[in-house]
Amino acid sequence: MKFIAKALLRAAFAILAAVPAAQAAGYPAKPITLIIGFTAGGPTDIVGRYLASNLEKELGQTVVVENRAGANGVVALQAAKRAAADGYTLMLGSSGTLSIEPVYKKRVDYDVLKDFTPVGLVASYPYLLVVPYDSPFTSVSELIQGAREKAEGLSFASAGSGAVNHLAGEWFKSATKTEIVHVPYKGDSAAIADLVGGRVDMAFLSVIAADPQIKAGKLRALAIAAKQPLSVAPGVPTVEHEAGISGFSAEPWNGILAPAGLPGDITRKLNAAINKIMSTDEAKAKLLTLGQYPLTGTPQDFSNHIAMQAAHWSQVIAAAHIEKAE
């Protein structure tokens, strides 16, 4: 009897061990929903839809994009958090939602690394430091000098309090010891109108938002907020080099997450598919038209990236004495 009991126990363990593999082998067996926390047509949405269409080819199932805009991506995050951890609901998370909201807000009702399973990095895009084309400042050094000499200081526009380009502006102001007043807008497009009109002096804008205005002779790019010059902005020097701010980088990014508890085999299957798609020359060329570049890595790489970015922006908030929001 003891022998039979042990044999049955071993068989039970074998069945349980095979469950994740069986899940991954049969996955996906139905359409997948990809939740995006921003409106249709924007850079994040375009990247998400590009990824979704290619995931369909890789996985052999329909990937339905669902836009749930609001609260800097938190509306989408809450929807994804409530979903089953079976791989059929995914979210394209952003740097603002995953690494800035938790350190900029005094309190949030989610813990990214506990409530979600990071699956894979997708893309990143650096900001350009831009000024109106008829601005008297034609270099970063002139901009800094002008901010120091002008009694009332200068102003910088952002997509809203807590946005990456808000924190980038505050970091620039603090590091250069200048007086530059923050003017928040409801999105970059609203900020661009006043920037082009000369009602604000500078801004950090994505390449895709700034480039049409640069080509039209309405804005001038002084530097790129990346760790090194990039092909998305050929010939544009870095803010770090021009302003002497060590490590200056303001690059929003995004990646795919699932609700916490996603089986490891499904996580790895999705990660492999995402990495394959984002490693292609086609993806690089497509993202270049959006002023972005693809990212790849393991689920652990993504988890580490979220944690490191949160720590980075927390330090920026503290060093620049940025008041946290409720």
Instruction: Give yes or no for residue 135 having a pLDDT over 50.
Output: yes
- Residue 11's pLDDT is 47
Q: Average pLDDT of 107-115? A: 94
**Is residue 198 one of the residues assigned to a domain?**
yes
Instruction: Give yes or no for residue 27 having a pLDDT over 90.
Output: yes
Pick from 197, 217, 243: which residue ends a domain? Answer: 243
Burial 179-198 (b: 16+ CB within 10 A, else e): ebebbbbeebeebbebbbee
- Residue 187's pLDDT is 81
**Is residue 114 one of the residues assigned to a domain?**
yes
Q: Which residue has the higher pLDDT, 41 or 30?
A: 30
Question: What's 165's domain CATH number?
Answer: 3.40.190.10
Q: Are residues 226 and 192 in the same domain?
A: yes
Instruction: Give yes or no for residue 16 having a pLDDT over 80.
Output: no
Cα separation, 1 vs 36, whole angstroms: 56
Q: How confident is the model at residue 258 (pLDDT cuts 50, 70, 90)?
A: very high
Instruction: Give yes or no for residue 138 having a pLDDT over 90.
Output: yes
**For residue 238, with 0-12 CB atoms within 10 Å meaning exposed, 13-18 middle and 19 or more buried, which class applies?**
buried
Pick from 210, 243, 276: which residue ends a domain? Answer: 243
Cα separation, 298 vs 276, whole angstroms: 12
Non-local (6+) Cβ contacts of 261 within 8 A are 85, 117
Q: What is the pLDDT of residues 182-213, one digit of tens each?
A: 999 988 888 999 999 999 999 999 998 999 99
Q: Are residues 89 and 228 in the same domain?
A: no
Instruction: Give yes or no for residue 6 having a pLDDT over 60.
Output: no
Q: Are residues 108 and 257 in the same domain?
A: yes
Q: Average pLDDT of 67-95? A: 93
Q: What is the pLDDT of residues 54-65, one digit of tens each?
A: 999 999 999 999
Element (H, E) at 76: helix 74-82
Q: Are residues 83 and 163 in the same domain?
A: no
Q: Average pLDDT of 269-295? A: 95
Q: Average pLDDT of 95-121? A: 94
**Is residue 260 one of the residues assigned to a domain?**
yes
- Residue 5's pLDDT is 46
When mean pLDDT is compared across 70-79, 237-246, 271-280, the lowest value belongs to 70-79
Question: What's 84's domain CATH number?
Answer: 3.40.190.150
Pairing assessment for the beta strands 180-184 and 202-206 based on DSSP bridges: unpaired
Beta bridge partners of 116: 259
- Residue 17's pLDDT is 47
Instruction: Give yes or no for residue 142 having a pLDDT over 60.
Output: yes
Instruction: Give yes or no for residue 257 having a pLDDT over 90.
Output: yes
- Residue 23's pLDDT is 54
- Residue 70's pLDDT is 85
Instruction: Give yes or no for residue 3 having a pLDDT over 50.
Output: no
Count of domains forming the chain:
2
Q: What is the mean pLDDT of the chain?
A: 91
- Residue 262's pLDDT is 98
**Is residue 326 one of the residues assigned to a domain?**
no
Q: Are residues 221 and 275 in the same domain?
A: no
- Domain range for 139 is 127-243
